[in-house]
Amino acid sequence: MSRFGEPQHDDFRALNDSIAYDRRLGPYDVEQSRAHAAMLASRGIITEAERDQLHAGLAQIAGELRDGSFPFSPADEDIHMAIERRLTEIAGTVGGKLHTARSRNDQVATDMAMFVRAHAQRAIERIESLAATLLAQAEAHLDWPLPGYTHLQRAQPVYLSHHLLAYVWMLVRDRRRFAAVLEASSWMPLGAGALAGVNFDTDRRLVARELGFSHVSPNSIDAVSNRDFVLDYLAAAGTCATHLSRLGAEVVLWSSEEFGFCEVSDAWASGSSIMPQKKNPDAAELLRAKAPRLVAHASALHGVLHALPLTYNKDLQEDKEHLFDAVDTLELSLAAAQGMLASITFRRERLAATANDEFLAATDIADLLVRRGMPFREAHGIVAGLVRSALRQGKALSALTEEELHAQSPLLDQEFYAVLRDGAWLESKVSEGGTSLGRVREQLERARTAIERR
Ligand code: ARG
């Protein structure tokens, strides 16, 4: 019997059905149902024989979902209905007992929490693998100087290892965010029923243990309404993708002829359909472009949840496509970033030549004056004057004569030329977290420990 006197309109079905995308929750739905059936039997709500029939049917369904032979029917509205329908086909009317003491509202929230947990875990693994690649590249390019930039203007030289390690620290923070997602998804909604609890004395803790949840959600109303763990995943994914986007952007810039700092390997580049000489860093460009998509998913789900009255509303079905696309995009981006960076080549000569730009030592010359007692602000002005005069004459700073130096400040002597000598102004950055080799080595160790320790 049905409450309804006419069939659903085709356009309503197209709008309402979620089977096209929520089928990927299938394995989680089956696992959840197994645990639920076991609990029902342990509480005497169904018999052990019934539980065994349900388990046998669910095992068959798990296999069908795995090998792609699960017979979806055009009438299936969502994965939960499809699995129950199939279970009844396989096991007979006992299949209808599986939904005792359960609603699709707590069921779908539980599937989603399981899905988020699994993929937060996968994100953590991929972040660690990318970080390991960056650590290896930092170690391999420990003392390769290049210019550091502010405003995309050459500012002060740094070691390439130092620059690469900056991304490792971003990833350390990303991993922390995904660890928080693991916690947020460790509260089991199942057992909340439609919204108020169920009419049976169920054993929620047994189910939670079985499914690997650390806690049962303490409020049935919150349990079926809560999608914070999805928001948390999307937020963490958005931030992580933003880091990959900055990394991608630098690889794009650095592989241009103008910079010439690096070259991505052939496996991570494509050619032009018309210009045979070209090698395009498409992977890096796409990493750069994916971030806004992930951030948009986060903001879209905020929009869905905004002002939504408690408890379950069909609006909540809109959590899925945002999450699924975010998961696919992030996991692929992390893998691509890892592969691209593992095989990238840096150009030592070109990096060194640009890092030797003497103007990058301007701060160091100012500090020379500071060490001789001059206030920094005044020293800044004097060095600016030296730079201006060198630029006007079209010569390097080290080509300025001692007379010219004295004209700017009597405190400037031979020491000025020593400061300009190769490398000196990198090794002078001795403060903790700075770019001198000793400090970078120290940092590399800290980064390695941070990544290895969970
Ligand atoms: N497909 C639904 C969703 O994703 C499942 C829950 C349906 N619940 C309901 N009361 N209609 O949210």
Mean pLDDT to the nearest integer, 126-147: 97
Active site residues: 151, 272
Domain ranges within the chain, ordered by starting residue? 10-100, 105-347, 354-452
The percentage of the chain sitting over the pLDDT mark of 70, rounded to a whole number, equals: 99
Beta-carbon contacts of 81 under 8 Å, excluding residues fewer than 6 positions away, are 104
Calculate the alpha carbon distances from 261 to 96, 147, 254, 285, 355 in Å: 65, 10, 5, 16, 11
Hey, which residues does 145 pair with through a beta bridge? 159
Hey, which residues does 62 pair with through a beta bridge? none
Confidence of residue 241 (pLDDT cuts 50, 70, 90): very high
- The residue whose CB lies within 8 Å of the most ligand 1 atoms, and thus the one to mutate among 314, 315, 323, 324, is 314
**Relative orientation angle of helices 376-393 and 362-371, to the nearest 10 degrees:** 140
CA of 15 to the centre of ligand 1 (A): 13
The percentage of the chain sitting over the pLDDT mark of 90, rounded to a whole number, equals: 86
Which ligand 1 atom lies nearest to the CA of residue 78?
1
Closest protein CA for atom 4 of ligand 1: 317
The pLDDT tens digits of the residues spanning 271-316 come to 877 777 778 999 999 999 999 999 999 999 999 999 999 999 999 9
Which ligand 1 atom lies nearest to the CA of residue 79?
1
The pLDDT tens digits of the residues spanning 99-125 come to 999 999 999 999 999 999 999 999 999
List pocket residues of ligand 1, CB cut-off 6 Å: 18, 22, 78, 104-105, 108, 312, 316-317
Closest protein CA for atom 2 of ligand 1: 317
CA of 55 to the centre of ligand 1 (A): 24
CA of 314 to the centre of ligand 1 (A): 6
> For 418, how many CA atoms within 13 A lie in the half-sphere containing its CB?
7
- The residue whose CB lies within 8 Å of the most ligand 1 atoms, and thus the one to mutate among 103, 104, 227, is 104
Distance between CA atoms of residues 258 and 251, nearest Å = 13
Determine the topology of domain 354-452 in CATH.
Ribonucleotide Reductase Protein R1; domain 1 (1.10.40)
CATH superfamily of 105-347: Fumarase/aspartase (Central domain) (1.20.200.10)
Confidence of residue 422 (pLDDT cuts 50, 70, 90): low
- The residue whose CB lies within 8 Å of the most ligand 1 atoms, and thus the one to mutate among 105, 114, 115, is 105
Which ligand 1 atom lies nearest to the CA of residue 316?
12
Give the torsion through C-alpha atoms of 89, 94, 95, 97, to 10 deg. 160
Closest protein CA for atom 3 of ligand 1: 317
87 token code pair: 């279970």
The pLDDT tens digits of the residues spanning 59-86 come to 999 999 999 999 999 999 999 999 999 9
Whether residue 34 has pLDDT greater than 70: yes
The residue count for the chain: 454
Of 91, 92, 87, 60, whose CA–CA distance to 76 is shortest?
Answer: 87
The pLDDT value recorded for residue 191 is 98
Mean pLDDT to the nearest integer, 30-39: 98
Of 209, 217, 219, 226, whose CA–CA distance to 105 is shortest?
Answer: 226
Q: pLDDT averaged over the chain? A: 95
CA of 370 to the centre of ligand 1 (A): 69
3-state secondary structure of 280: strand
Multiple choice CATH, 10-100, 3.90.650.10, 1.10.443.10, 1.10.275.10, 3.30.360.10: 1.10.275.10
Beta-carbon contacts of 111 under 8 Å, excluding residues fewer than 6 positions away, are 25, 28, 29, 32, 79, 80
Whether residue 454 has pLDDT greater than 80: no
Confidence of residue 326 (pLDDT cuts 50, 70, 90): very high
The pLDDT value recorded for residue 423 is 65
CA of 107 to the centre of ligand 1 (A): 9
CA of 21 to the centre of ligand 1 (A): 13
The pLDDT tens digits of the residues spanning 328-364 come to 999 999 999 999 999 999 999 999 999 988 888 888 8
- Give the pTM: 0.94
- Residue 105 has a CB neighbour count (10 Å cut-off) of 21
- Residue 62 has a CB neighbour count (10 Å cut-off) of 19
The pLDDT value recorded for residue 357 is 84
Hey, which residues does 156 pair with through a beta bridge? 148
